[in-house]
Amino acid sequence: MLFCFLATVISIAIAFGLSFLLRRKEERGEFIQATYRSSAAILGLAFIQNIYGSSGMGPLMIIGSVPLYNICAVVVLSVFSPDQSRQGLKGDKVKKTLLGIVKNPIIIGIAVGLAWSALGLPLPKILHSVIGKVGGTATPLGLIAMGACFDLSKARASGGGAVLASIVKLVGFGVLFVPLAIALGFRNQELVAVLVMLCSATTVSCYVMARNMGHEGSLTSAAVMLTTLFAAFTLTGWLYLMRTLGVI
């Protein structure tokens, strides 16, 4: 869990540094989020369960990365919003940004969820079932919304950033962190959980959040589509390589 947390922090820092390569300042927030944020919660559990028959280390990986994913996404998209990129962060804008972060529904949801879990409060079975079914519709609905709003001309303008984000997401983080995880002794479910956290496709909720927070969304949608398309090949390649090395 600690490794997943620290790897996520470093990944965000790397994405932040690379964002300064973009010519359009208003796209930096989208680039950072699309580069580091994976479909870890959904894809991670499915991968581990299909390979090993149980979710195993998946929940620990989710605890170590997903809350940080969401909190940093809110911070990044607020600080690098199109308005802030043009006007800078001064005075009341800093206050407005901090207030927006505190009042963001995702941040509130994470805080309430952690408190609920820490207090050991029961969750009625019917509520658990309803939440699970509603949550299951999030990804397909997000993809439909993204497709309906997709603008090819704007996506072409953001193509360079989207390609860079996709390469770093699917290959770069894996090259950096997977050998380190192996050196630290992670094997089997632990290593697959780390791999999926680092190298799975950019989650479609990135697009939804970017749009809701005033961003154009073109770079995000292009990155989601590119990573979703190529992740099937890159993840399979990573798994084949690790199986060949005998670490999973």
What is the model's pTM? 0.84
Most confident of 43-47, 132-136, 141-145, 196-200: 196-200
Lowest mean pLDDT among 67-76, 82-91, 103-112, 165-174: 82-91
Query: What is the C-alpha R_g of the chain?
Result: 18
Dist CA 39 CA 151 (whole Å): 23
- For residue 144, the tally of other CB atoms under 10 A from its CB is 11
**Longest distance between any two alpha carbons in the chain, whole Å:** 56
Average per-residue pLDDT for the chain: 84
Whether the pLDDT of residue 128 is over 60: the answer is yes
Angstrom distance (rounded) from CA 1 to CA 7: 10
**Per-residue pLDDT reduced to its tens digit, 143-197:** 677 676 666 666 676 778 999 999 999 999 999 999 999 999 998 888 988 998 9
pLDDT classification of 35: cutoffs 50, 70, 90: very high
Q: What single letter denotes the amino acid at residue 171?
A: V
pLDDT band at 11 (very low <50, low <70, confident <90, very high): very high
